[in-house]
Chains A and B, each alone.
Chain A
Amino acid sequence: MKRYTFPGGIHPKENKSITEDKKITEIQPPDEIIVPLSQHTGSPSKPIVEKGSKVHIGTKIGEITGFISANIHSPVSGEVKKMDTHPHPSGGEILSVFITNDGKDEWENVSDRDVESISGGDIIEIVKEAGIVGLGGAAFPTHVKMSPPKGKQYDTLILNGSECEPYLTCDYRLMVERPEDILLGGRLIARAIGVKRCIIAIEENKPEAIRKMEKIVGRYDFEISTLITKYPEGAEKQLIWAITEEEVPTGGLPVDVGVCVQNVGTALAVYEAVKYNKPLIERAITVTGAVKRPSNFKVRIGTPFKELIEKAGGYLGIPYKLISGGPMMGISQYTDDVPVVKGTTGILVFKEETNSLVRTACIRCGRCINVCPMNLMPTKILAYIENGDFSNAKELGVLDCMECGSCEYICPARRPIVHNIKLAKLRLSK
């Protein structure tokens, strides 16, 4: 079988064996849920409830405000306790809805649609209404991705099951436990965006998922592509290149090469939304690292990290670093009071420093250049940024950087590349 991949990239220690055999178990929501009103790329949602409002599971509490935005729904039934700012896993403090859970788990409205007869336009409308965003981490509103700009058209759908971040296994578990529903969701997306060719892409380090999918892809008219295990294989542009050898042009969108990439978890959410009218109020998440019982959980959005760590048996020793996401692109937290949001793929705890902290001057070894999947020269860009020369950094393509962190991972001098590139992008956007 053909093995697909892209040039560059790294091979960090996977550490997936810690949780890959842990079934996704459902966690009962805590007594209080904190739902931030910004959980997606784009403009924050507008609150449409107030203190004292009664809500059910699936009651809309935040409304779309712009073209790129998403609805937000209550993950529990109960009462709005207050609206206040609260620490967000992506950083900063965000206006959030605090909901007291009455424990009754009453749903707003559930249905059981016949998914065969539903039209593409209706699917996009349902996805938009359900507040579905990309669940691979970037949290880009899915209905926007499914509605290409005028004059452009998709011809291929790729379901992204590569899950290249070390430690994380929730996408893998979804593929093993619910392969049919994922492909059904994929078919619904395909119908909505009008494509025939559907591919599910899985990294070789997930043989069980590949086996499960191989058995059923034919039934749902999917092809399966096995990817050579490498980080960042799941990055959208790299994944598209690996499979189609098409380059998404700089500043462009995947639709420019006719490819729509959706995370496997997103496909599942689309299926559940279309079939049961279920908005995005829960997701699968890996809790791993220095916790007593590393696990995969199905959790309601808004559940504080500390609840999940408790469910995973508590911290193993004194926590040193708490990361929302994986070790490559996850964001370190200063408190475990932050809630799970739609884009939270995992909670990773380290009890000690995992980076070699001995920083030296750049020794020009060129490793960063060899691993950069975007063909940039990270060390040269860094040198310009450190000298405050942002225009030359731009000239060298700093805006094309997707911040995968491969360069900094491989750097023997431990240069702070990603941090500075983020700074440069911020300065250049002003």
Chain B
Amino acid sequence: MLKVSSYPHISSETTTRKIMFIVIAALMPAFFGSIFFFGIRALIITLISIVSSFACEALCQAIRKKPITINDGSAILTGLLLAFNLPSCVPYWVPVVGAFFAIAVAKQVFGGLGYNIFNPALAGRAFLMASWPSIMTGKWVVPRLGTMSGIVYSLPVEMTSNATPLTALKDYSSVLGLPELLNAKSTIYSLFLGMRGGCLGETSCLLLLIGGIILISFRIIDFRIPLSYFLAVFSLTGILWLLGVTPVTPLFHILSGGLFLGAFFMATDYVTSPMTRKGRWIFGIGCGVITVLIRLWGGYPEGVSYSILLMNATTPLIDKFTRSRIFGH
């Protein structure tokens, strides 16, 4: 019996599953980093988040009477990314609730893989932020080898001991000497290496950068989104720094908060970002501008997750208006 099928009869070796697992692999440096910086609790939170996402996906698909596709790796990835967006000291039920919202509400309600409008992990985080703000932002853990704000050798300002670099900037920038300390070379180093407070997967720029380079070199993500995101944040904060609007350098803005995690792993989510190359530039720039607006004038110290969620909503429009001219038209 000969098999008859439509051409093409060969296919590239890259499959959905393979892509998901490459992204998961690219997150591994930052994952091990999170265990190093925040201890065994980071591991537990991450495992709870992954298992909850996995179970929730299977359950939703069973209820919807759809084929169960948990082995495609997308739920594991969502669970991992959600955990990366949580402080390491949250109670153990928090990742469970977050995973439920991410998978059941943000993903499966919209039709499952490929149909969700908003990045599931970020939607889960946004839900947790809105519901339990004190748990999500009230308490932070000092990482191993570092301090909360990344200010290493001197702590003249008592407040910075319980503030992340960006909350320190937001709430205490009027305190004399703080901006200088935030801009200090040693602070920039600890921001880059990850010795500062923050969500458990977002702190080490170095480890996230390694992951990002893996993704770009394996052609999993388009460099356009992270590059335009970084450039937008850098140039905008650069101008505002020169104008004296923000007391810290653009370098501080690039390295602090969740920008590396967001730019390499969240804004590049295929499903919720534009498909056209031109659209990806616009998307990255949009994320960058909104991030800066929130950081400097918004109610939150950090704007990466909301900026990406807002830009997610514009994705269909961007795709529509960046359609290339068809050959011969």
Report A's interface with B, CB cutoff 8 A.
10, 12-13, 166, 237, 241, 247-252, 319-323, 327-336, 348, 350, 353-356, 358, 360-366, 369-370, 373-377, 379-380, 396-397, 400, 403, 405, 408-414, 416, 418-419, 422
Interface residue B186 (Cβ < 8 Å from any Cβ of A)? no
B8 and A356 form a contact (CB under 8 A): no
Q: How far is the CB of A8 from chain B (nearest CB, A)?
A: 9
Closest 7 CB pairs of A and B: A366-B275, A405-B8, A361-B114, A419-B6, A250-B328, A360-B16, A375-B324
B19 and A375 form a contact (CB under 8 A): no
Q: Which of B10, B17, B115 contacts A361 (CB 8 A)?
A: B115
A–B pairs, 13, beta carbons within 8 Å? A249-B328, A320-B3, A321-B9, A332-B2, A332-B3, A332-B7, A348-B9, A358-B16, A363-B113, A363-B114, A363-B270, A375-B324, A400-B327
Q: Which of A334, A358, A412 contacts B2 (CB 8 A)?
A: A334
Interface residues of B in 4-31 (CB under 8 A from A): 4-19
Q: Which of B4, B74, B328 contacts A333 (CB 8 A)?
A: B4
**A252 / chain B contacts, CB cutoff of 8 Å:** 328
Give the residue name and chain of the A residue nearest to B325 (CB).
Answer: A375
Give the residue name and chain of the B residue nearest to A335 (CB).
Answer: B2
Q: How far is the CB of A92 from chain B (nearest CB, A)?
A: 13
Interface residue B112 (Cβ < 8 Å from any Cβ of A)? yes
What are the interface flags for B276-291 relative to A under an 8 Å C-beta threshold, 1 for contact and 0 otherwise? 1100000000000000
Interface residue B185 (Cβ < 8 Å from any Cβ of A)? no
Besides A374-B328, A377-B319, 20 new A-B residue pairs in contact (Cβ under 8 A), listed by A number: A248-B328, A250-B328, A321-B2, A322-B2, A328-B9, A332-B4, A332-B9, A334-B2, A353-B3, A355-B9, A356-B15, A360-B15, A361-B112, A364-B275, A366-B275, A374-B326, A376-B326, A397-B329, A400-B326, A419-B6
Cα distance, A364 to B2, chains bound together (Å): 33
**On chain B, which size bracket covers the interface?**
35 or more
Cα distance, A348 to B222, chains bound together (Å): 35
B11 and A320 form a contact (CB under 8 A): no
Q: Which of B2, B5, B328 contacts A319 (CB 8 A)?
A: B2
Interface residues of B in 172-223 (CB under 8 A from A): 222
A364 and B271 form a contact (CB under 8 A): yes
Q: How far is the CB of A358 from chain B (nearest CB, A)?
A: 6
A418 and B8 form a contact (CB under 8 A): yes
A362 and B114 form a contact (CB under 8 A): yes
Give the residue name and chain of the B residue nearest to A321 (CB).
Answer: B3
Q: How far is the CB of A371 from chain B (nearest CB, A)?
A: 10
Cα distance, A334 to B5, chains bound together (Å): 10
**A379 / chain B contacts, CB cutoff of 8 Å:** 275
Cα distance, A356 to B10, chains bound together (Å): 8
A413 and B7 form a contact (CB under 8 A): no
Question: Known contacts A321-B3, A332-B5, A363-B114; is A375 also within 8 Å of B326 by CB?
Answer: yes
Q: Which of B9, B319, B327 contacts A374 (CB 8 A)?
A: B327
A358 and B270 form a contact (CB under 8 A): no
Cα distance, A71 to B274, chains bound together (Å): 51
**A419 / chain B contacts, CB cutoff of 8 Å:** 6
Give the residue name and chain of the B residue nearest to A360 (CB).
Answer: B16
Interface residue B64 (Cβ < 8 Å from any Cβ of A)? no
Interface residue B235 (Cβ < 8 Å from any Cβ of A)? no
B2 and A408 form a contact (CB under 8 A): no
**A363 / chain B contacts, CB cutoff of 8 Å:** 16, 19, 74, 113-114, 270-271
Residue among A252, A322, A362 with most chain B CB within 10 A: A362
Q: How far is the CB of B4 from chain A (nearest CB, A)?
A: 5
B277 and A370 form a contact (CB under 8 A): yes
**A355 / chain B contacts, CB cutoff of 8 Å:** 5, 8-11
Residue among A354, A363, A377, A403 with most chain B CB within 10 A: A363
Question: Known contacts A332-B3, A366-B222; is A360 also within 8 Å of B11 by CB?
Answer: no
Q: How far is the CB of A230 from chain B (nearest CB, A)?
A: 14
Give the residue name and chain of the A residue nearest to B323 (CB).
Answer: A377
B326 and A412 form a contact (CB under 8 A): no
Cα distance, A350 to B4, chains bound together (Å): 12
Cα distance, A370 to B222, chains bound together (Å): 11
Give the residue name and chain of the A residue nearest to B271 (CB).
Answer: A364
Q: How far is the CB of B269 from chain A (nearest CB, A)?
A: 9
**B14 / chain A contacts, CB cutoff of 8 Å:** 410, 412
Q: Which of A321, A348, A365 contacts B19 (CB 8 A)?
A: A365
Cα distance, A277 to B326, chains bound together (Å): 43
Give the residue name and chain of the B residue nearest to A422 (CB).
Answer: B6
A330 and B2 form a contact (CB under 8 A): no
B275 and A377 form a contact (CB under 8 A): yes
B4 and A334 form a contact (CB under 8 A): yes
Q: Which of A331, A335, A360, A411 contacts B113 (CB 8 A)?
A: A360
**B271 / chain A contacts, CB cutoff of 8 Å:** 363-364
Q: Which of B10, B273, B274 contacts A328 (CB 8 A)?
A: B10
**B5 / chain A contacts, CB cutoff of 8 Å:** 321, 332, 355
What are the interface flags for B300-329 relative to A under an 8 Å C-beta threshold, 1 for contact and 0 otherwise? 000000000000000000010001111111
B8 and A409 form a contact (CB under 8 A): yes
Interface residues of B in 208-247 (CB under 8 A from A): 222
**A321 / chain B contacts, CB cutoff of 8 Å:** 2-3, 5, 9
Cα distance, A297 to B94, chains bound together (Å): 69
Give the residue name and chain of the A residue nearest to B74 (CB).
Answer: A363
Cα distance, A192 to B114, chains bound together (Å): 54
Cα distance, A13 to B9, chains bound together (Å): 12
Cα distance, A241 to B327, chains bound together (Å): 10
**B13 / chain A contacts, CB cutoff of 8 Å:** 356
B19 and A412 form a contact (CB under 8 A): yes
Give the residue name and chain of the B residue nearest to A250 (CB).
Answer: B328
A364 and B270 form a contact (CB under 8 A): yes
Cα distance, A354 to B114, chains bound together (Å): 25
Cα distance, A375 to B322, chains bound together (Å): 12
**A348 / chain B contacts, CB cutoff of 8 Å:** 9
Q: Which of A370, A396, A418 contacts B6 (CB 8 A)?
A: A418
Q: How far is the CB of A232 from chain B (nearest CB, A)?
A: 11
Cα distance, A356 to B277, chains bound together (Å): 27
**B324 / chain A contacts, CB cutoff of 8 Å:** 369, 375
A237 and B328 form a contact (CB under 8 A): yes
Q: How far is the CB of B20 from chain A (nearest CB, A)?
A: 9
**B323 / chain A contacts, CB cutoff of 8 Å:** 377, 396
What are the interface flags for B238-268 relative to A under an 8 Å C-beta threshold, 1 for contact and 0 otherwise? 0000000000000000000000000000000
Cα distance, A413 to B74, chains bound together (Å): 13
**A251 / chain B contacts, CB cutoff of 8 Å:** 328
What are the interface flags for B134-149 relative to A under an 8 Å C-beta threshold, 1 for contact and 0 otherwise? 0000000000000000
A358 and B17 form a contact (CB under 8 A): yes
